[in-house]
Amino acid sequence: MEEKKHMEYISSKMPQRKYYREEPIRIVDSKQTMYQAIKNLNIDNMNYNSIGYMNHNYTYEEMLREVDKTAIALKQLGVKEND
């Protein structure tokens, strides 16, 4: 027997809708990668905290450096683009 899942979506009938923006805060180029978007959007904020993990806060600069190190390691293991 197939289980039916019900999801509620925000509609104009819901009172909390008045707290949502109609337009995005920033327009982001959808053709760029997530890495490029994070880097471009935070180019002037590289020393700000981006994420926290295991009681350590990473700045955008540290996070991108770790992503670069991971990419190099994966490439050395033979992982290719689009794998």
Q: What percent of the chain has pLDDT over 90?
A: 55
Model confidence at 35, in pLDDT bands (50, 70, 90)? very high
Q: What percent of the chain has pLDDT over 70?
A: 84
Q: Range with the lowest mean pLDDT among 2-6, 11-15, 28-32, 51-55? A: 2-6
CA dist list (Å): 80 to 52, 67, 68, 70: 29, 16, 15, 13
pLDDT at 22: 82
What's the average model confidence in pLDDT over 6-35?
Answer: 76
